């Protein structure tokens, strides 16, 4: 489409400018402007492709995280429905996961970074 319009403009210039020198100058100016426009479009396309790639990578990371979460919550057959699950956030890597409430456990290993996390269940009997 751009090529067709460019050729129309050049034909119009040739049909309306009689002075050969002016015609050559006008064609050169239109060609320069068109090339500048095409270069800007290519830059925008490059930026767009980089952003799409970045968002695809983020989406892939989210999909992996969601799959991990799905595996932890829904596919672990050893968790009964009436089990109390406690949310944990690893202080080292900020991973969120759930564990069974067990006030005898004093520490747990983070499933992602493998660091040991000390558990403080608090004294809930004082709250009653």
* pLDDT for position 122: 67
Nearest-angstrom CA–CA distance, 97 and 69: 8
Average pLDDT over residues 43-61: 94
Chain-centroid distance of CA 85 in Å reads 31
Q: What's the pLDDT tens digit per position in 86-102?
A: 888 999 998 888 888 88
* Token pair of 82 as six digits: 């009436």
| Domains of the chain, residue spans | 1-75, 78-128
Q: What's the pLDDT tens digit per position in 8-21?
A: 999 999 999 999 99
Cβ-contact 27, 6 below 8 angstroms: no
Average pLDDT over residues 14-41: 94
Cα dist. 86→55, 58, 83, 107 in Å?
32, 27, 10, 13
pLDDT above 60 for 45: yes
Sign of the C-alpha dihedral, residues 54, 59, 65, 68? negative
């Amino acid at each position: 489409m751009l090529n067709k319009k460019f050729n129309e403009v050049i034909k119009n210039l040739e049909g309306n400018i009689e002075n050969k020198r002016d015609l050559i100058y006008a064609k050169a100016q239109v060609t320069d402007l068109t090339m500048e426009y095409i270069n800007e479009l290519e830059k925008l396309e490059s930026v767009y492709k980089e952003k799409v790639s970045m968002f695809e990578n983020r989406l892939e990371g989210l999909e992996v995280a969601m799959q991990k979460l799905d595996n932890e919550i829904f596919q672990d057959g050893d968790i009964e429905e009436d089990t109390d699950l406690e949310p944990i956030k690893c202080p080292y890597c900020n991973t969120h996961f759930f564990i069974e409430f067990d006030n005898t456990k004093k520490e747990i290993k983070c499933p992602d970074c493998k660091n040991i996390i000390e558990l403080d269940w608090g004294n809930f009997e004082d709250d009653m």
